[in-house]
Amino acid sequence: MADVLVINFPQPVRKRLKLTYEDVVSWNPQLIYADITGYGDVGPDAELPGFDITAYWARSGLLAMTRDAGAPPTLPVAGSGDHATAIGLYAAIVTGLYRRERTGKGSYVTTSLIAEGAWSCAMAIQAALCGAQFFPLHDRKKPPNATFNVYQSADDQWFLIVVQPKDWAALATAIGRPELLTDPRFADAAKQAANSTQLTAILDEVFVPSPYRTGAKHWIAHTSPMEWCTNLKT
């Protein structure tokens, strides 16, 4: 007999194939019945098919939040929501197996794409339910912090800068612009935030694509912390 049955058929298909939990548990009371759906087992959308991009990304709110200001929502990496949801179902399955080891009883465990999407942006959902005021979408040209932003190098590579206030002097020195340390616009973190648009423009000029500029490999090797925005297609 099987230890685990993973099923992702929509509810009408399960009923037609007689693969609901009630149908199957009579064959094997110790079975871990692992149920995954698009929109959960109850509610007006319970019988609808669900997809990574629809249930996990779009309906949860993640798709609208993971974009820059002024840009439309864009398609994320294919399967990324499916993978996250699979981890949730895996956790439910191993918990059910542990319970069976201790009690001898099977379990009906479940999750959904929308539930896992909601978990991924739970902080924002909770804030919305409480009427919180949200930060605006990230604007690369006008970020709240120019030293926590993405930039493009001479070799057309994008990289991320994450600099704490204590490391500002090291960054300014590493990019060959020590005069920024005495510029009153950037004297401390608060002034850098107030003048982030100007500082971003300066950093863009440092890193701007040009045959006379240095590539991302140089900056990442000599300036910390920076990290590649890895392009898996090249």
Once rounded to an integer, what is the mean pLDDT over residues 192-207?
A: 94
Tell me which of 23-27, 54-58, 103-107, 219-223 is least confident: 219-223
- The pTM score is 0.80
> How many alpha carbons lie under 13 Å from residue 194 in its C-beta half-sphere?
8
Tell me which of 76-80, 99-103, 166-170, 222-226 is least confident: 222-226
> Is the pLDDT assigned to residue 72 strictly greater than 80?
yes
8 A C-beta contact, residue 79 and residue 56: no
Tens digit of each residue's pLDDT (9 = 90 or more) over 135-174: 889 999 999 999 999 998 877 788 888 889 998 998 898 8
Catalytic residues: 82
Tell me which of 86-100, 107-121, 147-161, 181-195 is least confident: 147-161
| Those residues with Cβ within 8 angstroms of residue 226's Cβ, 6 or more apart along the chain or in another chain | 159, 160, 161, 162, 219, 220
CA distance 106 to 120: 28
Q: How confident is the model at residue 120 (pLDDT cuts 50, 70, 90)?
A: very high
Q: What residues are paired with 148 via a beta bridge?
A: 162
- Residue ranges with strand state E in the chain: 4-7, 32-37, 107-112, 148-152, 158-162, 226-228
Tens digit of each residue's pLDDT (9 = 90 or more) over 205-234: 988 755 545 555 665 655 555 555 555 454
Which pLDDT value is given to residue 219? 59
Q: How confident is the model at residue 81 (pLDDT cuts 50, 70, 90)?
A: very high
Total Cβ atoms within 10 A of residue 25 = 16
Total Cβ atoms within 10 A of residue 32 = 22
